[in-house]
A and B are shown apart, each in its own frame.
Chain A
Amino acid sequence: MLVKFFFRLREAGVPATIPEFLALLEALRAGLADASAERFYCLARACLVKDERHYDRFDRAFAAHFRGIEGALETLARELPADWLDRLAEARLSDEEKARVRALGGWEALMRALRERLEEQKSRHQGGSRWIGTAGTSPFGAYGYNPEGVRIGQDGSRQRRATKVWDRREFANLDDDVELGTRNMKLALRRLRRFARSGAADELALTETIDATARSGGWLDVKMVPQRRNVVKVLLLLDVGGSMDDHVRISTELFSAARAEFKHLEQFYFHNCPYERLWRDNRRRSERGVDTFELLRTYARDYRLVIVGDATMSPYEITEIGGSVEHWNAESGAIWLRRLLQAYPRHAWINPQPEALWDGTRSIAITRELLEGRMFPLTLAGLDAAIAELG
């Protein structure tokens, strides 16, 4: 049964591995699940899922796998012994509340209604928990499982138990299918690092010190060197034009990876195509921004220029004077792009648009021509190739 469950998880995209699965079995053998479905769920999740973004996939697979065979696990049973509820009611409900329950058609009807409503609510956990929350002292809380009745007298978690944890899918918004995590990006960007020792000598050079000490006949002669620093400088231009909206997440990931990796990173924003002005802060787009000439003067040739954009626009925005959609540009985008590329001989354009679509888009073809082919897709392989070009 569990082997099937394991494969089901993998099919659902939870990257669980064999050692993790064995760890789960070991934990089960150690009696950690206590024959309780909920404990088993927690345990399986702790063992097999290592990223909260996969919690939702796990929940779905778990629900799908155990729905049919719940009966097999005694404690998973949805059916409660009738007198158990009565006992519970005696213990917890006031006479007034009991009267209200009777008015609603008794336990039977109530349970049926509740069950139906829970079914309906599976997909909307937010409303679901609120709805159950408003039920408050009603028996809905008791519908949750704790057939052993151990927690009857305990407040607090009862409400949360009213729907199964895995059916509530509370981690749905954390799920993402990104192949290219920031970690991968950082590892790719690492290859661009250039180390050099510069600045104040504040690190002990052990081998030199030993060497110098030995040479001076045993008298300690301490040698210091400056720290090793990553000296590569990167000038990053990010397209934030309308068509980039589809690629915002992956672009921000690239940006955050770059931010963490390079000390000398300058970023500017442009819309569709760089013209005479660029923006330092995307939120202040309405401001005048930075003169592109000034940028060319400020940052020296040793900066590596990385442009991130989909280059998907009307061809006129690149080739024509006045082609920009936002303002009147006195010089065409192509001229500005050429200036940038000339000023920074080590450059690359990273395009989040899938490579298969490049040929079909006229503006991408024009941009590639201007770049002499140095356009790379925003994939790991593409990033690697771009870095090799920049290095």
Chain B
Amino acid sequence: MSRSFEGTERYVATPELATAVNAAVVLGRPLLIKGEPGTGKTLLAAEIARSLDKPLFEWHVKSTTKAQQGLYEYDAVSRLRDSQLGDARVKDIRNYIVKGNVWEAFESDRQPVLLIDEIDKADIEFPNDLLRELDRMEFYVYETRETIRARHRPIIVITSNNEKELPDAFLRRCFFHYIRFPDEDTMTRIVDVHFPGLKRDLVAEALRTFFRLREAPGLKKKPTTSELLDWIKLLVAEDVAPEALRGDDARALLPPLYGALLKNEQDVHLLEQLVFLNRRNAR
């Protein structure tokens, strides 16, 4: 068994996540990752590739993406045009087959990591169209009548935001892990990893404000880990004193630079009201 994944110096992986990743790596099955936005789903594949020293192939799925596009596309228009111009390339259909990310990953001469990002964005049948490819790690190219097989079974990481439910047949073939929103301990480690040597008291205050904000009832969009990291980056850049976060300042209703945490105006209004009410009750 090769090296196992334990997180990296830039990425904090809980033991649960590390176990799921290692199971997927050892057994060569895809790993499906779900979880709240901003908990590092997409980052995971890059970090696995980095820590295990493997090439990374990324396939970002959009609502219009077809499963076929990940395998290959036949560029008939170019071929037609070349035939008009009398190009010699036109004789060989191979010249007009454009490889997709999956094909590229299958051809890699070392075991690659393949990320299929936000699979739920695509059409509801999309995962079903990839069953054989993920199971047997091979597919058939109709134009050239050849079967492409993976030279090394790639480590496949699939992320989903739960916009659509995935079909059972697809789920059966994957390992699954749901990244929970980190607790305060894990969050402190995450912040440490991103901003080593940051003032302890600033981090503590920032985390306190952050978790309190997440607990505020009725927020449309709760701030996530990546937003917290952005916010801390801003706090550091602006050199905000930890005391300013404690909210002793009666004029400042909201935490400084709140724009990094709250992304829509209803939430900002809601929070202003909550803070205002709290103040009044406290008096």
**List of B residues within 8 angstroms of A32 by Cβ:** 19, 22-23, 26
A387 to chain B, nearest CB (A): 16
Q: Which of A39, A160, A183 contacts B183 (CB 8 A)?
A: A160
Q: How far is the CA of A23 from the CA of B24 in the complex (A)?
A: 10
Which one of A46-54, A194-202, A329-337 contacts B? A46-54
Interface centre among A27, A155, A206, A260 (most CB of B within 10 A): A27
The segment out of B27-35, B203-211, B273-281 that lies at the interface is: B27-35
Closest to B16 in A: A42
* B-contact 0/1 string along A23-44, CB 8 Å cutoff: 1001100111000001100110
**A50: which B residues are within 8 A, CB to CB?**
32, 168, 171-172, 174, 176
Closest B residue to A185 by CB, please name it. B165
CB distance from A236 to the nearest CB of B (A): 20
- B-chain residues with CB within 8 Å of residue A190 when the two chains form the complex: 124
Determine whether B38 belongs to the interface, using a CB cutoff of 8 Å to chain A. no
Chain A residues contacting B124 (CB-CB under 8 Å) are 183, 186-187, 190
Please provide the chain A residues from 3 to 35 with a CB less than 8 Å away from any CB of chain B in the complex.
15, 17, 19-20, 23, 26-27, 30-32
Residues of A within 8 A of B178 (CB): 52, 55, 171
Inter-chain contact A181/B165, CB cutoff 8 Å:
yes
Q: Is the CB of B185 within 8 A of A46?
A: no
B6 to chain A, nearest CB (A): 12
A204 at the interface (CB under 8 A from B): yes
Closest residue on chain B to residue A222 by CB atoms? B77
Contact B167 A183 (CB under 8 A): yes
The answer to whether A219 and B23 touch across the interface, beta carbons within 8 angstroms, is: no
B-side interface residues, number (CB < 8 Å): 42
Contact B171 A182 (CB under 8 A): no
Q: Collect the chain B residues with CB atoms within 8 Å of residue A23's CB.
A: 27, 29, 175
Kindly state the separation between the CA atoms of A186 and B166 in the bound complex, as whole angstroms: 12
**A230: CB under 8 A from chain B?**
no
Is A156 engaged at the interface, CB distance under 8 Å to the other chain?
yes
Partner of A182 from the list B81, B165, B168, B175 (CB cut-off 8 Å) is B165
Across-interface contacts of B173 in A (CB, < 8 A): 19
Indicate if the CB atoms of A209 and B80 lie closer than 8 Å: yes
Shortest Cβ gap from A269 to chain B (Å): 20
In the complex, which residues of chain B have a beta carbon less than 8 angstroms from the beta carbon of A182? 164-165
- Given contacts A32-B22, A157-B185, A186-B124, whether A46 and B175 have CB atoms under 8 Å apart is yes
Task: Answer yes or no: B15 CB below 8 A from chain A CBs.
Answer: yes
CB of B20 closer than 8 Å to a CB of A: yes
B186 beta carbon closer than 8 Å to chain A? yes
CA distance A51 to B19 in the complex (A): 17
- Measured CB to CB, the closest approach of chain B to A235, in angstroms, equals 23
- Count, A-B residue pairs, CB within 8 A: 97
Mark each residue of chain B from 135 to 178: 1 if its CB lies under 8 Å from any CB of chain A, else 0: 00000000000000000000000000001111110011111111
Residue B257 lies at the interface, judged by CB distance under 8 Å to chain A: no
Q: Please indicate the chain B residues that have their CB under 8 angstroms from the CB of A170 in the complex.
A: 180
Contact present for A27 and B23 (CB under 8 Å): yes
Contacts of B246 in A (CB 8 A): none
Residues of B within 8 A of A30 (CB): 1, 26-27
Check: A105 CB closer than 8 A to any chain B CB: no
Q: A19-B172, A46-B175, A156-B186 are in contact. Are A52 and B27 (CB under 8 A)?
A: no
B172: chain A residues at CB < 8 Å are: 17, 19-20, 50
Once bound together, how far apart are the Cα atoms of A220 and B22, in whole Å? 53
State whether the Cβ of B131 lies closer than 8 Å to any Cβ in chain A.
Answer: no
Cα A31 to Cα B168 with chains together (Å): 27
* Pairwise interchain contact A183-B164, C-beta atoms closer than 8 A: yes
**B240 adjacent to chain A (CB < 8 Å):** no
| Inter-chain contact A42/B15, CB cutoff 8 Å | yes
Smallest beta-carbon distance B51→chain A, Å: 17
Inter-subunit contact A46/B19 (CB<8 Å): yes
Say whether B189 faces chain A, with CB atoms less than 8 Å apart. Answer: yes
Judge if A218 is at the interface, Cβ distance under 8 Å. Answer: yes
**Could you say which residues of chain B place their CB within 8 Å of the CB of A31?**
1
> Does residue B236 face the partner (Cβ distance < 8 Å to A)?
no
Q: Look across to chain A and name the residue whose beta carbon is closest to the beta carbon of B4.
A: A32
A351 within 8 A of B: no
Residues of B within 8 A of A209 (CB): 80
A32-B23, A49-B176 provided; 15 other pairs, C-beta below 8 A?
A17-B172, A27-B23, A32-B22, A42-B20, A46-B23, A50-B174, A51-B171, A155-B185, A157-B14, A157-B15, A157-B185, A160-B183, A183-B164, A186-B164, A187-B124
> Which residues does B use to contact A, with CB under 8 Å?
1, 14-16, 19-20, 22-24, 26-27, 29, 31-32, 34, 76-77, 80-81, 83-84, 124, 163-168, 171-178, 180, 183, 185-186, 188-189
Using CB atoms and an 8 Å cutoff, list the residues of chain A in contact with chain B: 15, 17, 19-20, 23, 26-27, 30-32, 38-39, 42-43, 45-47, 49-52, 55, 129, 155-157, 159-160, 165, 170-171, 181-183, 186-187, 190, 204, 206, 209-210, 213, 218-220, 222, 260
The 7 A-B residue pairs whose C-beta atoms are closest, nearest first, are: A183-B165, A42-B19, A52-B178, A50-B171, A46-B20, A46-B175, A42-B16
Q: List 24 A-B contacts (CB under 8 A).
A: A23-B27, A23-B175, A27-B23, A30-B27, A38-B15, A42-B15, A46-B24, A47-B175, A49-B176, A50-B168, A50-B171, A52-B34, A55-B178, A155-B185, A157-B15, A157-B185, A159-B185, A160-B183, A181-B165, A182-B165, A183-B167, A209-B80, A213-B80, A218-B83
